[in-house]
Structure 1
């Protein structure tokens, strides 16, 4: 048995390790075009902020460790440029040597992940403008900050990475602005609950520019001038693009595999693609929303790792299935802890559901423990539940400033959270 895995960050590395436990004699190869495998993407903002001091702390494994512990052949800087399903053959370019070669497989797992969105905004390739998706991205940002002696930063996009980077750049002493096209940061939250985040950011002197997109970037004596669609301008020594991600599914498309409307590879609950012998996991695939049973894209490491274990079990002959992704997330923003799972109110309204008919809401503002005991903090909870069957569809909760003295218990829905982000 020869198992080849394209991509080795989360789902790919997990699948390789799990399959080795099931088949000690199989030939297992991981091909990854990047410089690292199995690294903590979610920790990158904290590496930039100095909370995580060494990049090695972000690495769950290395090619050397995979070889020694699991006898897995990991080839970094090796990019798969073509998949030939009929011949079960791959075309590979080794970017270190310039060599192009072919590799065969019996079973293939595509774990090619996703990449940051880079819309065609004039000036977006400027030297002060960076994404943050890999360890080399983080190192490039740190080198730029040091070289430029950066004092100001603009973050384009108010999602997880954008918000976390705002905190960490602030920690490094930079004056930070966030430009977000929506009227709120953090899309998984409903607007009135996102206001808690807005207040916390403003308390920390983070400038929020909401409901406004970027029209252009221009260079002015080493600084980047950002012109927004409303006519506003701001200058920054460092610009971070955090607009969103898209699945790296081009390889699958060119191989003739079925791909969904949003670009994710279509897979079964056994992680099988439309071609026998080819499987896919992680950010690159469509998943089933656990709560609503609809197709969606949820690029989180937790689900990818779970999918990696499942696909290894399936290839190893076990009857295993992936039941869907609930999209659980937890993040700390300065002194505010935020957790969310399932669907929110605005998602249900967008789908044509009516409050009071299809769903209802409970809001709770309380304390995280008895008020007479020292250290009491504010706890804000919003629960969206189905009026037809009573299922909890989307609890969200906040502890302000930080719940470090205890844990939070919340009644689960009938679904167990399939993924998490920390």
Structure 2
């Protein structure tokens, strides 16, 4: 009987365990994780803190007991894997509650260790109340602090996905929120003009935004920024970035790629064919350019889990590359994106042209409609789609989803005008914004 050991029991780890059992009813599967909770919806944690999701248990998809009963998979929480012995095909595991250490043999090993929040070295940081949000326990700590201590103000350091979601949810709880971001504009994966639309939304909702600066020094509730501005805040949410958890892989001599993730081939195998790597800590490749790419998001992790499960059970399905498709809610706005942004295109010296369409989400005469801005980059010679961004009210996500499908299907910018998309006044217009991008590109 083949034995598979999985390190990590959240998105990628839990999914690959379930997939393996689906395709092989006899395989022996064991999963180890340091945390106290498995298979929870990490993307939902800001909304539990914001009381949008009122039952924190609702974001837990399963428990070790339920997983064992339903899938016949053994999950051991509070267990840390300390070392991989590739020659003996064993892992050294520590029970974090008892301190006991033991060796667990494997035929195949899957690494899904995720990533850790980066906490920069800041003078006096230990004197302040500082939180990160990377797991279920982090969420519980923040939630308990807010409910028990009833703070009035917060500084969110970092204007990426977690930072913006936390800023919104904390503001909705009635806190005074300041958002500090090192780069000149927030959401650095967006083009500057698109980021500015989100910054305007933050201002409307009274989130104090300070860009081009970072926390330099703290003294309790006194926070000094690198531009000499001083702020007061009861606590800090640190969301400046994610470091892939690759220490275990590095100690085992597994190759680390140029993005800092564990290097994996088209089947998610490392340089040791009996060891796979998936999720936040794995390095993949960009669908558009073919260059190394690491995307710490849920959708790629789930896709990688499927690829690994099929490969282990005898069906070779190669990955097709990553676009980094993502979506974000910021108060009444939605921002979505896929593929290359303008900065990356310029850095890689790719020839490009851009079409922007400002219009309504659906018929302007219909009572419920909103403005959306859709921006698409493409190669002017091949007409190949390079990337797209959309910011606005309703319907933003579906426009980006269409672009994603077009890229995967090999359509050109000109093909967009011919797509027969859904139309009725509550949903779109006879010429959808996607069609308009195509028409404008042809006119160009």
Residues in 1 aligned to 2:315 and 2:44: alpha-carbon distance in whole angstroms: 33
Using the size of structure 2 for normalisation, the TM-score is 0.89
SS in structure 1 of the partner of residue 407 of structure 2: coil
Aligned to 2:242: 245
1:340-355 map, 5 Å: 340-353=337-350
Aligned to 1:65: 66
Contact preservation (8 Å) 1:148, 1:237:
no
Measure how far apart 1:387 and its partner are: 1.4
Q: Does 1:263 align with 2:260?
A: yes
1:340-384 CA-partner distances (Å, limit 9, x unpaired):
11111111112234xxxx100111111112222222211111111
Of the candidates 359, 362, 365, which is equivalent to residue 355 of structure 2?
362
Q: Does 1:335 align with 2:328?
A: no
Of the candidates 377, 391, 396, which is equivalent to residue 398 of structure 1?
391
- Structure 1 residues without counterparts, runs of 5 or longer: 418-422
Measure how far apart 1:21 and its partner are: 1.5
CA RMSD, aligned part only?
1.6
Aligned to 2:100: 99
Aligned to 2:291: 294
Q: Does 1:203 align with 2:200?
A: no
Measure how far apart 1:416 and its partner are: 6.3
Contact preservation (8 Å) 2:128, 2:219:
no
Aligned to 2:375: 382
Using the size of structure 1 for normalisation, the TM-score is 0.93
Residues in 1 aligned to 2:147 and 2:89: alpha-carbon distance in whole angstroms: 47
Measure how far apart 1:414 and its partner are: 2.7
Residues in 2 aligned to 1:407 and 1:103: alpha-carbon distance in whole angstroms: 46
1:184-208 CA-partner distances (Å, limit 9, x unpaired):
1112210011111000000000000
Measure how far apart 1:260 and its partner are: 1.4
SS in structure 1 of the partner of residue 262 of structure 2: coil
Q: Does 1:112 align with 2:113?
A: yes
Aligned to 1:183: 184
Measure how far apart 1:162 and its partner are: 0.3
Residues in 2 aligned to 1:286 and 1:370: alpha-carbon distance in whole angstroms: 43
Residues in 2 aligned to 1:410 and 1:126: alpha-carbon distance in whole angstroms: 49
Residues in 1 aligned to 2:125 and 2:318: alpha-carbon distance in whole angstroms: 42
1:17-28 map, 5 Å: 17-28=18-29
Measure how far apart 1:276 and its partner are: 2.4
Residues in 2 aligned to 1:369 and 1:111: alpha-carbon distance in whole angstroms: 41
Contact preservation (8 Å) 1:257, 1:273:
yes
Measure how far apart 1:407 and its partner are: 5.5
Q: Does 1:310 align with 2:297?
A: no
- CA 40–126 in structure 1, closer or farther in 2 if over 3 Å, else same: farther
Deviates more, 1:102-111 or 1:59-68: 59-68
Aligned to 2:214: 213
Residues in 2 aligned to 1:12 and 1:416: alpha-carbon distance in whole angstroms: 29
Contact preservation (8 Å) 1:153, 1:236:
yes
1:203-228 CA-partner distances (Å, limit 9, x unpaired):
00000000112211221xxxx22111
Q: Which has the higher contact order (CA 8 A, sep 6+)?
A: 1
Measure how far apart 1:388 and its partner are: 2.4
Measure how far apart 1:393 and its partner are: 1.0
Measure how far apart 1:61 and its partner are: 1.8
Contact preservation (8 Å) 2:258, 2:292:
no
- Structure 2 residues without counterparts, runs of 5 or longer: 411-444
Aligned to 1:227: 224
Contact preservation (8 Å) 1:39, 1:59:
yes
